[in-house]
Structure 1
Amino acid sequence: MPVNYAKWLTREKEFAAFATGPLLDFWRTREEGEFSGVDDVPIRYVRFCSPEHDKVIVVSPGRIESYVKYPEVAYDLFHCGYDVMIVDHRGQGRSGRILDDPHCGHVKHFDDYVEDFDRFYQLEIATRQYAKKFALAHSMGGAILALYLAKNPQNFDAAALLAPMTGIYLPMPGWVSRRILNWAENRPVRRDGYALGTGHWRPLPFVVNQLTHSRARYRRNLRFYADYPELQVGGPTYHWVREGIEAGMHILKEAEKITTPVLLLQASEDRVVDNRSHLAFCQAMAVAGHPCEGEKPLVIEGARHEILFERDDLRAQALDAIMRFFARQL
């Protein structure tokens, strides 16, 4: 059990003091960088490094997220003995936007995310002599990482996928969504506009959020978006949803190529990704002869989608599982 486990279990009780004290001091040690992604879109990233560390964890965040949201996660991973690097995917965070409306969540091709991630790997990871290289990915970032591992299974020693977007939770039958998306795809104004029921970013009260049970962490995340309006991203475009669905299907087809040891964590109360797709992914990995850790998703009972931003007990359970999994690869 990590030496910080007890602290993870009690942090919310004094969260403000932690956030404005040790966490803020840690955040000030960051190094930020930028490189050109596909079509010369600027991709921003952050790193936390120590000469005492010989292993690294690369973090691939979810849709609309930025590394500005991830100081607490980086703090905990760093204090477990890892360098930490976090990438802002194109179209969100501090990276370049794709459309004139910066709130539109959009990508031309889902593989653009994967190519950006590979350029980052070659720039920051391949050039450093780490004894072990690990990856941690959430939601859309999990889909990006899974596709990357299908092409480059040797580049990481292990990967943890948290609520990965191997399938999108949709409030309608699949055949209905496909007809709508195919209709919009042939109409550029619709294709690159907000998907049905979405729009500009707006803050939602904690009581109606579907992402976490942690009031402290939810409020802190809202403040990031309020304090830094340039980070705000609203709903996805019709084209992004289509690309996301096709990416999930592609992941299931390519799962057999992923020989990297994988731990998949699932939130039992997820209403963003389709949990059934996690089981299908693990089954595909098992059939190929390299099953996920435990041969099935590790379910965090009671957790909502943002597992590492959940209340202390759920978050500590997930972090403990991840740290134990990575330690076994050492």
Structure 2
Amino acid sequence: MTLHSIPSNEVPEGAVSGFVTTADGRQIRFARWRPASGCRGTVALFPGRAEFIEKYFEVVRDLLARGFAVATLDWRGQGGSQRLLRNPRKGHVRRFSDYQLDLEAFGRQVLLADCPAPHFALAHSMGGAILLEAIIDGRRWFDRVVLSGPLLDIALVPYPALARTLAATLSAIGFARAFVPGGGGTLVNTLPFATNLVTSDPERYARSAAVVEAHPELGLGAPTIGWVHQTYLAMAALRSPEVMREIRQPLLMIAAGDERVVSNAAIQHMASRLIAGAYVTVPAARHEILMERDIFRAQFWAAFDAFIPGSSPF
């Protein structure tokens, strides 16, 4: 078993976990589950930056209770997957498109090989951007896709044009693997609740922190300059009008009303131009809606249940 339990966050029963190897030789951790009886298909769960499989155990249980099998992974450089730099706390990627190698290995070795159809996807933040890239590249593995706060632009940077230029310049002169200015190795999930921008739920925030405190090898610090540069390039490509017109995948984008991490304006702009897309806002929720208070999570799941065929609440 490659998954970690703590008393407040136990591994859901029936887990199968391990590693798949990507085309460039990286080891990517995965986990999958099947419901106790019957099966309406599989939901592939794709986390955001600095997240890990254990953080989503509650979400896995929510999906199993709806009759879905679940499959998920840790992206390269985070969680229990292979780290990319000597300092394992640096959030780095050589090229944003490298995440597609993780998705390809996971899709072919786990999702298509062992998970019952039909296949749906639920992706958060960075996971949403990765999945959108895959859709644009022609991967039609999923009948429908739900994106929670997809990373189409960054809201927490006060001077985005300057940040883009600085990240590109510093990457070009050899600083791609350095932490972003002001960033360091402090694990994201252990920062004080009062300063967090992602959830208003202290109990769920404390639960994620407890997992990282018990298993610090799962945590991640600030991103590198190279990660920021590559992410800006990927976001700009996703937002181009030509790219948006190519998306035919049925998509539901769910945005947080009190979003402070990604740009809701960018999400709404894309959603309004999709041929088969829909857009929902959960008022007053913060970025990590699935880690939010029950009143916000209930609105998310109501939208999910209405969009995904065969989904039904408990």
Structure 2-normalised TM-score? 0.91
**Gap regions ≥5 residues in structure 2:** 1-5
Q: Deviations over 1:273-315 (max 9, x none)?
A: 1111102211332xxxx1412xxx3111011110000000001
Q: Which residue of 1 aligns with 2:210?
A: 223
SS, match of residue 187 in structure 1: helix
Q: Which of 151, 156, 165 matches 2:151?
A: 165
Check 1:52–1:292 CA distance in 2 against 1; reply closer, same or farther (3 A cut): same
d(CA) in 2 for partners of 1:46, 1:193: 31
1:114 equivalent in alignment to 2:103:
no
Q: Which of 294, 297, 306 matches 1:324?
A: 306
d(CA) in 1 for partners of 2:17, 2:287: 27
Percent identity for Structure 1 against Structure 2: 31
Q: Which residue of 1 aligns with 2:220?
A: 233
Alignment coverage as a number of residue pairs:
302
Q: Which residue of 2 aligns with 1:98?
A: 84
The answer on whether the counterparts of 1:267 and 1:301 sit within 8 Å (CA) in structure 2 is yes
Return the letter of the residue paired with 1:199. Answer: G
**Gap regions ≥5 residues in structure 1:** 1-18
Deviation at 1:207, TM superposition (A): 1.5
Q: Which residue of 1 aligns with 2:261?
A: 272
Deviation at 1:101, TM superposition (A): 0.5
**Larger CA deviation: 204-213 vs 158-167:** 204-213
The answer on whether the counterparts of 1:269 and 1:304 sit within 8 Å (CA) in structure 2 is yes
SS, match of residue 58 in structure 2: helix
The answer on whether the counterparts of 2:52 and 2:74 sit within 8 Å (CA) in structure 1 is yes
Q: Which residue of 2 aligns with 1:33?
A: 18
The answer on whether the counterparts of 1:105 and 1:240 sit within 8 Å (CA) in structure 2 is yes
The answer on whether the counterparts of 2:42 and 2:115 sit within 8 Å (CA) in structure 1 is no
Q: In the TM superposition, what are the counterparts of 1:39-118 in structure 2 within 5 Å? A: 39-50=24-35, 52-118=38-104
1:252 equivalent in alignment to 2:239:
yes
Deviation at 1:172, TM superposition (A): 2.7
The answer on whether the counterparts of 1:153 and 1:258 sit within 8 Å (CA) in structure 2 is no
**Structure 1: 4+ residue segments shifted above 6 A:** none
d(CA) in 1 for partners of 2:171, 2:106: 30
d(CA) in 2 for partners of 1:69, 1:238: 26
Structure 1-normalised TM-score? 0.86
**Larger CA deviation: 114-123 vs 141-150:** 114-123
**Larger CA deviation: 121-130 vs 158-167:** 121-130
- The structure that is helix-richer by fraction is 1
Q: Which residue of 2 aligns with 1:137?
A: 123
1:284 equivalent in alignment to 2:273:
yes
Deviation at 1:125, TM superposition (A): 2.2
Check 1:212–1:110 CA distance in 2 against 1; reply closer, same or farther (3 A cut): same
Deviation at 1:112, TM superposition (A): 0.8
Check 1:54–1:312 CA distance in 2 against 1; reply closer, same or farther (3 A cut): closer
Check 1:243–1:106 CA distance in 2 against 1; reply closer, same or farther (3 A cut): same
d(CA) in 2 for partners of 1:195, 1:38: 29
Deviation at 1:110, TM superposition (A): 0.7
SS, match of residue 70 in structure 2: strand
